[in-house]
Amino acid sequence: MHSPDLTSVGIVAPQTARFDQPITLRSGATLASYELVYETYGQLNADKSNAVLVCHALSGNHHVAGYYSDQDKRPGWWDNMIGPGKPIDTEHFCVIGLNNLGGCHGSTGPSSIDPASGKPYGASFPVVTVDDWVETQARLADQLGIQQFAAIVGGSLGGMQVLQWSITYPQRLRHALVIAAAPKLTAQNIAFNDVARQAILTDPDFHGGNFYEHGVIPKRGLRLARMLGHITYLSDDVMGSKFGRLLRSGAFQYSYDVEFEIESYLRYQGDKFSESFDANTYLLMTKALDYFDPTHHQEDKSLSLALKPASAKFLVIAFTTDWRFAPDRSREIVKALLDNERDVAYAEITSSHGHDAFLMLEPHYHELVRAYMQRVAQEGGR
Amino acid sequence: MHSPDLTSVGIVAPQTARFDQPITLRSGATLASYELVYETYGQLNADKSNAVLVCHALSGNHHVAGYYSDQDKRPGWWDNMIGPGKPIDTEHFCVIGLNNLGGCHGSTGPSSIDPASGKPYGASFPVVTVDDWVETQARLADQLGIQQFAAIVGGSLGGMQVLQWSITYPQRLRHALVIAAAPKLTAQNIAFNDVARQAILTDPDFHGGNFYEHGVIPKRGLRLARMLGHITYLSDDVMGSKFGRLLRSGAFQYSYDVEFEIESYLRYQGDKFSESFDANTYLLMTKALDYFDPTHHQEDKSLSLALKPASAKFLVIAFTTDWRFAPDRSREIVKALLDNERDVAYAEITSSHGHDAFLMLEPHYHELVRAYMQRVAQEGGR
């Protein structure tokens, strides 16, 4: 028996919320009912004013912190950030993580059984947008009796959900923590997503999205998508210092087998991911990224105008070597908020870890979130 | 009949050089014989001192300038740079373009018939390196009676060949024009290449490299490789200004069909390329990139030491928005040359076109090459 980690939320268990009120999505498609799987860490206080919602990114899920058993070796994906005494302190806050609609970790998604057909949804599962996620998250909050979150927090695609919350439901969050995000994708961002999607869509094992019925998974396509994604999550710097031109065997092999350490690493990441993640969910998540644009319905595409309804206080964080969503993109958000005279703190964290830095234990970053969340705890509910 | 373009080299025809002296490659493999296809533009002078060799990049070939017929709509790939009165002026120089060994445009490569088996080489074609290319190019020069080039010129992977020439055969070139190149790939560069290779290698139609016998081509893999490559050739800037978030239909479709203009562009590029380029050659070219490292055999990986033998005069050119081989990479070359007190001119050209800028008619770039090559023409042979 090892000594207990006092900064861990400990053993946790997912819960399932069921929604029988139909939802009409942005695409026009309707889901008659759906389930969302979620976890909570820390106690919700009597007036339910201390809830913090964590929105996940492309491949994330509801298992944000803690372990599923004593034998479980890997904690939730943001365990370094959330727990007793951690930056988002579960002694003060009730933290809620959920798996978004369309996910593949328990919430209703393409791999779920469609009650209408008794088969997996597959290709018939509708495309879901960030707006749709905010709507479903708001319904989850309703079910939990949470009228207003102390804070909503997210990195990358998670940060986009935070932004959308601040626009759609300004009164339902006091603080918005938007980390390593962007107000919308660039053509280059979309291009990378489309190559990943094409890898999946053209994999013969994809079967138009209905691969479940064929007893196969489009492993090759999903593996390529993940390898490519990984390149964009890491900085050139960190790849250079971790792998550089190191050879696995010390000498050139003059073959197409693994030769450089970076190849070995990427292929391993791709293999692992392709066996555990749903290809339809991957497609859906990348489309949600592409579609996100709070200015989409405006003539003049003004982010300042789009953020006008937002009334939360903001903490916006970017990382110096993040080239997927570079600091410039965060500054666009900050500028639009300042145009509206909103309360916004902005930090550009020096890190070599690229986009992935938002998941890492970067001391300055964690201290900043800690200090910010302490202030949130002190100020209490409105 | 249209009026003749006086700055075009006009109608050209490829020639084939045959080599029956076996060549042992860096990998240890031997080719008993091989052919190289090449073109020449302009007249070789009496003492054969005015030859300029153009080394091609990943998907390039020997058709550098001019047209194959009156009906031919597209000239050679560097036609804007080479011709009478153009920056590399065929009134002064005899310009030679060749298809490298391993290519798929006429020189011996994986799709050629192996005389030993009577079938295409396919997977049995050896991996070829930049050193090997320099060796075969030197043999071509021997056959043409060219002892010393006035200049050797190349962009990207072509620039790496120029660098290697300056090290292997310092006396055989007076000037080295190294454009949009790098002294070796970074881990990130290798990573992009490996994703492209994995796309091809895992395509079921690749058949371990012997797809010719199966009457198929690994179109899906090659298409993905090209789409990905294209992203790295273009800058984020130029993608933004050319495509931005423009939608093909003006509204979101909520499907996985083409939606954004950038997707349409990339898929078109991928489709076109995958029908015309050989997948084995693509693999081979990317490996040549990965392997290139003039410091590979040294303990201390010093580029200055590696470039010590070089005696040519250098023009090194980089483009501001090139993130594949950023200006920093060219500066490494310049610094190593200066460490050896070599004659080197360096220019960083402001361009929005990313890595592809080396192929474009960028006025400052072209004027610089023109001025440099005029000086080369005036100084004549040694």
Phi, psi of A186 (to 5 degrees): -85, 170
Question: What pLDDT is recorded for position B5?
Answer: 84
Q: Does A32 touch chain B (CB under 8 A)?
A: no
Contact call for residues A152 and A53 (beta carbons, < 8 A): yes
Instruction: Give the chain A residue nearest B128 (alpha carbons).
Output: A254
Question: What pLDDT is recorded for position B1?
Answer: 43
Question: What pLDDT is recorded for position A382?
Answer: 53
Contacts of B194 in chain A (CB under 8 A): 227, 260, 262-263, 266-267
Contact call for residues A260 and B190 (beta carbons, < 8 A): yes
Contacts of B228 in chain A (CB under 8 A): 195, 228
Q: Is A160 left (phi over 0), alpha (psi -120 to 50) or beta?
A: alpha
Contact call for residues B148 and B381 (beta carbons, < 8 A): yes
**Number of CB atoms found within 10 A of residue B98's CB:** 29
The torsion angle over the Cα atoms of residues B194, B196, B199 and B200, rounded to 10 degrees, is -100
Residue A1 has pLDDT above 50, yes or no: no
- Which of A156, A274, A330, A352 is catalytic? The answer is A156
> Active site includes A249?
no
Question: Between chains, do B266 and A239 touch, taking CB under 8 Å as contact?
Answer: no
Question: What pLDDT is recorded for position A375?
Answer: 97
> What does the alpha-carbon distance between residue A209 and residue A206 come to, in Å, rounded to a whole number?
5
- Which of B175, B322, B330, B352 is catalytic? The answer is B322
Contact call for residues A201 and A168 (beta carbons, < 8 A): no
**Which residues, listed in sequence order, are joined to residue B176 by a DSSP beta bridge?**
B152, B314
Question: For chain B, which residues score pLDDT lower than 50?
Answer: 1
Strand locations in chain B (E):
15-19, 23-24, 30-31, 34-41, 51-55, 82-83, 88-89, 94-98, 113-114, 119-120, 149-155, 173-179, 313-319, 344-349
Contact call for residues B25 and B31 (beta carbons, < 8 A): yes
Q: Which residues contact A5 (CB under 8 A, 6 or more apart)?
A: none
Looking up tokens 């799709």, which residue turns up?
Answer: B111
Angle between helices A187-201 and B219-233 (to 10 degrees): 170
The torsion angle over the Cα atoms of residues A24, A29, A32 and A35, rounded to 10 degrees, is -80
Rounded to the nearest integer, the mean pLDDT of chain B is 96
> What does the alpha-carbon distance between residue B48 and residue B55 come to, in Å, rounded to a whole number?
19
Both tokens of B55, joined, read: 């080394």
Residue A147 has pLDDT above 70, yes or no: yes
> What does the alpha-carbon distance between residue B303 and residue B339 come to, in Å, rounded to a whole number?
10
H or E, element range at B224: helix B219-233
Question: How many CB pairs below 8 Å do chains A and B form together?
Answer: 150
How far does Cα B323 stand from its chain's mean position?
17
Both tokens of A164, joined, read: 């959308």
Question: What pLDDT is recorded for position A307?
Answer: 98
pLDDT band at A5 (very low <50, low <70, confident <90, very high): confident
Give the pLDDT confidence of A330-377 residue by residue, as tens digits.
999 999 999 999 999 999 999 999 999 999 999 999 999 999 999 999
CA distances B59 to B15, B101, B286, Å, are 19, 13, 10
Both tokens of A246, joined, read: 């190191």
> What does the alpha-carbon distance between residue A183 and residue A303 come to, in Å, rounded to a whole number?
8
Question: Between chains, do A287 and B256 touch, taking CB under 8 Å as contact?
Answer: yes
Q: Is residue A26 packed enough to be buried (19+ CB in 10 Å), middle (13-18) or exposed (0-12)?
A: middle
End-to-end CA distance of chain B: 44
Give the pLDDT confidence of A227-255 residue by residue, as tens digits.
999 999 999 999 999 999 999 998 999 99
Amino acid at the residue B74? R
Residue of A190, A201, A202 lying closest to B262 (CB–CB): A190
Residue of B192, B204, B243 lying closest to A231 (CB–CB): B192
Both tokens of A258, joined, read: 């693994």
Q: Does B224 touch chain A (CB under 8 A)?
A: yes
CA distances B219 to A61, A197, B206, Å, are 35, 16, 9
**Which residues, listed in sequence order, are joined to residue B55 by a DSSP beta bridge?**
B154
Give the pLDDT confidence of A20-64 residue by residue, as tens digits.
999 999 999 999 999 999 999 999 999 999 999 999 999 999 999
Q: Is residue A304 packed enough to be buried (19+ CB in 10 Å), middle (13-18) or exposed (0-12)?
A: middle
Q: Does B271 touch chain A (CB under 8 A)?
A: no
Q: Is A28 left (phi over 0), alpha (psi -120 to 50) or beta?
A: left
Contacts of A201 in chain B (CB under 8 A): 256
Contacts of A228 in chain B (CB under 8 A): 195, 228
Residue A2 has pLDDT above 60, yes or no: no
Interface of B with A in 293-332 (CB under 8 A): 293, 296
Secondary structure string (H, E, C) spanning chain A: CCCCCCCCCCECCCEEEEECCCEECCCCCEECCEEEEEEEECCCCCCCCCEEEEECCCCCCCCCCCECCCCCCCCCCCCCCEECCCCEECCCCEEEEECCCCCCCCCCCCCCEECCCCEECHHHCCCCCHHHHHHHHHHHHHHHCCCCEEEEEEECHHHHHHHHHHHHCHHHEEEEEEECCCCCCCHHHHHHHHHHHHHHHCCHHHHHHCHHHHCCCCHHHHHHHHHHHHHHHCCHHHHHHHCCCCECCCCCCCCCCCCEHHHHHHHHHHHHHHCCCCHHHHHHHHHHHHHCCCCCCCCCCCHHHHCCCCCCEEEEEEECCCCCCCHHHHHHHHHHHHHCCCCEEEEEECCCCHHHHHHCCCHHHHHHHHHHHHHHHHHCCC
**pTM over cut 0.90:** yes
The stretch A177-194 carries a mean pLDDT of: 98
Contact call for residues A52 and A374 (beta carbons, < 8 A): no
Question: Between chains, do A290 and B224 touch, taking CB under 8 Å as contact?
Answer: no
DSSP designation for B78: T
Give the pLDDT confidence of A277-316 residue by residue, as tens digits.
999 999 999 999 999 999 999 989 999 999 999 999 999 9
